[in-house]
Amino acid sequence: MLSFVEGRMVVGCVPCHARRMDEQHPHEVDLEITGIAHGGVSVARLDGRVVFVTDTLPGERVRARLSDTSKRSFWRADTVEVIEASPHRTAHVWAEAGIDRDPSERAGGAEFGHIALTHQRALKAEVLTDSLARFAGLRRDVEVLGVEDDDATDGTGWRTRVRAHVDADGVVGPFASRSHRVIPVAGYPLAVPAAAALIPSRLAPGTAEWVDVVAPSAGEPVVLTGSGRTPHGGAGIVERVGDREFRLDASGFWQVHRNAAAVLSSAVASAVASDGRFDPAAANHDLYGGVGLLAAALAGVGGASTRVTSVESSATATEFASENLADWIGARAETARVDRYLDGLARTASPRERERLRAATIVLDPPRQGAGAAVVDRLLELRPQTLVYVACDPVALSRDLGRLLAGGYELGGLTGYDLFPHTHHVEAVAVLHRG
């Protein structure tokens, strides 16, 4: 069963028994967990009200401490004791996030770390499948695939980019969940070892608000510190995908999982090559193109003369994209917001260019909030032959897919990838064709 509470998707939310708060523990209740919600929390009900519960999973009975009762429609709670454990529960991969610690002292960023890896993927598939049904009107089971080597390491050692925060006393560590409280930790099990080894435990107070460690696939790791959104210094780095190198700024965007760039490049290239509709001479695009990773995947299918334009709002990333795409004579990089760029195409494209756009394959890899109505509506107006949508948020993806399907596109393949083990995040690649 699927329902929604203030916009949050709830999977399997059905009434369950809960013991009321008692005099000894006025903020604790016993709950039966019946479903999973988008966002890494599980679901129970207390006197008919939805309760979102951390550090548990469907099928468990837990004692939970109410942490937020300010909303009329739902409450929040943190598990403090497991009364009846799911067979899918495991010891947490991060000791400082374990159930034996007080919720306020648990490190955030590994909210699925107590769940067996294969079951994490099943839960992510459930959320993705039900999101598609709710927001896109699609009844389709979706598989979430694991990534090479993750099973061998139990989903640890994959993060090539790690941010730790610094408190007023100079203590360095992750934030606690839904908090700006810095938690000191002995290690970072989700990080690649080269990155984990360089995160300090303390800095001089006032030196910085955060520490980033970037461990590229080629070259030595880079340590950045900063305040607000501004890094103190920067450096150019090289990432290698197959036999191709991509240059970028150390503080710029790149996929976090050590194998994610290769996985997504392969998924995009395979989707484009397999359907026989790709036209190298069309006005192909990579929207939200970053430093040109997926534009290169497109161009790799079509060959040296492939026409492809990467569109990215960061001028720094666009400069790198121009360099990274230099092997293809038909490739170029544009610095622009995607919505404004598409507005310009819709206004100024010649009849010949509109024909090339209709024959085009367009890849879009938007930020977590999705492409949104303005971008989707422009795509519906321009009506390219094929869309390859790379998404990191199931609900945002489903909303955009719903709009595209209503506008006449048909969904071909859709596959999930577990590029964020031990977190609730999931990547998906959807392929659509003009009907």
Binding residues for S-adenosyl-L-methionine, by number, are 255, 288, 312, 365
- How many domains is the chain partitioned into structurally? 3
The CATH number of residue 28's host domain is 2.40.50.140
- For residue 411, the tally of other CB atoms under 10 A from its CB is 18
Rounded CA separation 429/435 (Å): 19
| Bridge pairing between strands 49-54 and 74-84 | parallel
Q: Are residues 264 and 381 in the same domain?
A: yes
Q: If pLDDT is split at 50, 70 and 90, which confidence band does 3 have?
A: very low
pLDDT, mean of residues 231-237: 77
Look up residue 169 and give its DSSP letter: T
Q: Are residues 136 and 268 in the same domain?
A: yes
Side chain identity at residue 375, one-letter code: V
Whether the per-residue pLDDT at 15 is higher than 60: the answer is no
Q: Are residues 15 and 47 in the same domain?
A: yes
Q: Which domain holds residue 185?
A: 161-240
Q: If pLDDT is split at 50, 70 and 90, which confidence band does 228 have?
A: confident
Q: If pLDDT is split at 50, 70 and 90, which confidence band does 6 have?
A: very low
Rounded CA separation 198/200 (Å): 6
In degrees rounded to 5, what are phi and psi of residue 123?
Answer: -65, -40
Q: Are residues 169 and 63 in the same domain?
A: no
Q: Is 429 left (phi over 0), alpha (psi -120 to 50) or beta?
A: beta
Q: Which of 181, 202, 135 is nearest to 391 (CA)?
A: 135
Assigned domain for 291 exists = yes
Q: Tokens 């503080």 — which residue?
A: 251
Rounded CA separation 362/318 (Å): 18
Active-site residue, 16 included: no
Whether the per-residue pLDDT at 366 is higher than 90: the answer is yes
Give residue 96's pLDDT.
Answer: 98
Among 1-10, 47-56, 186-195, 310-319, the minimum mean pLDDT is found in 1-10
Rounded CA separation 25/289 (Å): 52
Rounded CA separation 68/256 (Å): 32
User: Which domain-ending residue is among 212, 240, 268?
Assistant: 240
Q: What percent of the chain has pLDDT over 70?
A: 93
Tens digit of pLDDT for each residue in 308-347?
Answer: 999 999 999 999 999 999 999 999 999 999 999 999 999 9
Dihedral sign, Cα of residue 25, residue 26, residue 27, residue 29: positive
Top-confidence residue, 390 or 230: 390
Burial 202-217 (b: 16+ CB within 10 A, else e): ebeeeebbbbbbbbbb
Whether the per-residue pLDDT at 23 is higher than 90: the answer is no
User: Which domain-ending residue is among 89, 109, 141?
Assistant: 89
Rg (CA), the chain: 23
Q: Is 101 left (phi over 0), alpha (psi -120 to 50) or beta?
A: beta
Give residue 26's pLDDT.
Answer: 60
Q: Are residues 202 and 346 in the same domain?
A: no
Q: If pLDDT is split at 50, 70 and 90, which confidence band does 25 have?
A: low
Give residue 78's pLDDT.
Answer: 97
- Say if pTM beats, i.e. exceeds, 0.95: no
Tens digit of pLDDT for each residue in 51-105?
Answer: 999 999 999 999 999 999 988 889 999 999 999 999 999 999 999 999 999 999 9
Among 108-112, 184-188, 228-232, 362-366, the minimum mean pLDDT is found in 228-232
Q: Are residues 213 and 290 in the same domain?
A: no
DSSP string covering 346-386: HHH--HHHHHHHHT-EEEE---TT-SHHHHHHHHHHH--SE
Rounded CA separation 205/305 (Å): 54
Q: Tokens 């400069």 — which residue?
A: 319
Catalytic residue among 215, 250, 271, 392: 392
Rounded CA separation 275/270 (Å): 9
pLDDT, mean of residues 258-282: 95
Rounded CA separation 341/339 (Å): 5
Q: Enter the tokens of residue 319.
A: 């400069």
Binding residues, by number, are 255, 288, 312, 365
Q: Which residues pair with 430 in a beta bridge?
A: 389, 414
To the nearest 10 degrees (0 to 180), the angle between helices 372-382 and 351-358 is: 110
Assigned domain for 116 exists = no
Q: Are residues 129 and 165 in the same domain?
A: no
Give residue 4's pLDDT.
Answer: 40
Q: Tokens 């970028």 — which residue?
A: 248
Q: Which of 218, 270, 281 is nearest to 244 (CA)?
A: 218
Give residue 232's pLDDT.
Answer: 66
Assigned domain for 249 exists = no
Q: What is the mean pLDDT of the chain?
A: 93
Does residue 241 contact residue 228 with C-beta atoms inside 8 Å? no
Assigned domain for 107 exists = no
Give residue 17's pLDDT.
Answer: 43
Q: Tokens 């598989």 — which residue?
A: 143
Assigned domain for 250 exists = no
Give residue 73's pLDDT.
Answer: 86
| Bridge pairing between strands 18-19 and 8-11 | unpaired
Q: Give the SS3 label for residue 162.
A: strand
Give residue 178's pLDDT.
Answer: 85
Burial 225-260 (b: 16+ CB within 10 A, else e): bbeeeebeeeeebebebeeeebbbbbbbbbbbbbbb
Assigned domain for 323 exists = yes
Q: What percent of the chain has pLDDT over 90?
A: 88
Q: Are residues 79 and 140 in the same domain?
A: no
Q: Are residues 235 and 275 in the same domain?
A: no
Q: Are residues 349 and 411 in the same domain?
A: yes
Tens digit of pLDDT for each residue in 115-154?
Answer: 999 999 999 999 999 999 999 999 999 999 999 899 999 9
Q: Are residues 345 and 283 in the same domain?
A: yes
Does residue 212 contact residue 163 with C-beta atoms inside 8 Å? yes
The CATH number of residue 429's host domain is 3.40.50.150
Does residue 178 contact residue 108 with C-beta atoms inside 8 Å? yes
Give residue 278's pLDDT.
Answer: 95
| Bridge pairing between strands 284-287 and 361-364 | parallel
Assigned domain for 173 exists = yes
Give residue 2's pLDDT.
Answer: 38
Q: Are residues 396 and 279 in the same domain?
A: yes
Give residue 370's pLDDT.
Answer: 97
SS3 per residue for 83-137: EECCCCECCCCCHHHCCCCCHHHCECCCCCCCECHHHHHHHHHHHHHHHHHHHHC
Assigned domain for 96 exists = no
User: Which domain-ending residue is among 71, 89, 107?
Assistant: 89
